Amino acid sequence: MLKRFQRDLLEYIRENLGIYTVVTIFFLTGLLVGPILLGFLQDSQLTELGTAVSLFFEGLKNDSDIVLQPLELLKMSYRKNILLLIMLWLLGLLWMGSPFILLLLILKGFAIGFTVGFMVSHYSLKGVIFCLAALLPHNILLVPVYLAAGATAMTFSIIKIKDRLAKKRMDKSRYFQQYCTMMFALLVLILIGGLIEAYITPVFMELVVNII
């Protein structure tokens, strides 16, 4: 059954490779814009951000059990990622949802890129090490989920467009079932990613925080 699922998944990706390429490009665009925006911030804004990060590091060093509470981190991860998945799912149901799907992916990439850019610009190699510890463990799973969710939503949105333009309306029930099944599978992966972010990522953060 697992092999069949893998085969079907690879076939689905091959059939929609163009859409996956588009969503990846938009996500990477946001990822690159994040660090660029740092150059447009005022010195006072950068100082405030630096102070906030320094206080966070001090909290990690002095009492990481308070700063990194797994249950709170889990709730926060689920709130932001499940909300994103729901928004993508809803936009996929709209024939004009594709631009907004791409906008959400740009914003998600921007958030990650801005964080990495700020840490690297202020802490150089130490910032790189901390980003690897704080962002990489869970995003290895979650970033592909974002891209897959965006591509899946765009695929169904395009089906809605084709249906509107067609002289004869198509039966979309099968496509809708596949759409919801795929999104549910991605939801399961988000739940797993949240567990990694709440219980595994903090371990890496605690290991590297003393060198920052």
9 assigned to some structural domain: no
| Residue-level pLDDT at 9 | 64
pLDDT at 97 exceeding the cut of 70: yes
Question: Is the Cβ–Cβ distance between 126 and 48 less than 8 Å?
Answer: no
49 assigned to some structural domain: yes
What DSSP assignment string belongs to 75-94?
Answer: HHHHHHHHHHHHHHHHHHTS
Task: Say what the pTM is.
Answer: 0.87
> Which domain covers residue 74, as residue numbers?
19-211
pLDDT at 106 exceeding the cut of 80: yes
Model confidence pLDDT, tens digit, residues 180-197? 999 999 999 999 999 999
2 assigned to some structural domain: no
35 assigned to some structural domain: yes
Token pair belonging to 151: 């591509």
Model confidence pLDDT, tens digit, residues 122-136? 888 888 898 898 899
41 assigned to some structural domain: yes
What average pLDDT does range 68-83 have in this prediction? Answer: 90
Q: Across all residues in the chain, what is the average pLDDT?
A: 86
Q: How many CB atoms lie within 10 A of CB 187?
A: 17
Question: Is the Cβ–Cβ distance between 201 and 137 less than 8 Å?
Answer: yes
Q: What is the total count of domains within the chain?
A: 1
pLDDT at 26 exceeding the cut of 90: yes
d(CA 54, CA 65): 17
68 assigned to some structural domain: yes
- Kindly tell me the sign of the dihedral angle through the C-alpha atoms of 154, 157, 163, 164: negative
8 assigned to some structural domain: no
Q: Tell me the backbone φ, ψ of residue 180, rounded to 5 degrees.
A: -65, -35
CA angle 95, 150, 80 (to 5 degrees): 115
- DSSP state, residue 210: G
Tell me the H-state helices in the chain.
2-15, 17-37, 43-67, 70-92, 98-165, 173-199, 201-208
100 assigned to some structural domain: yes
Which of 23-27, 64-68, 87-91 is the least confident region?
A: 64-68
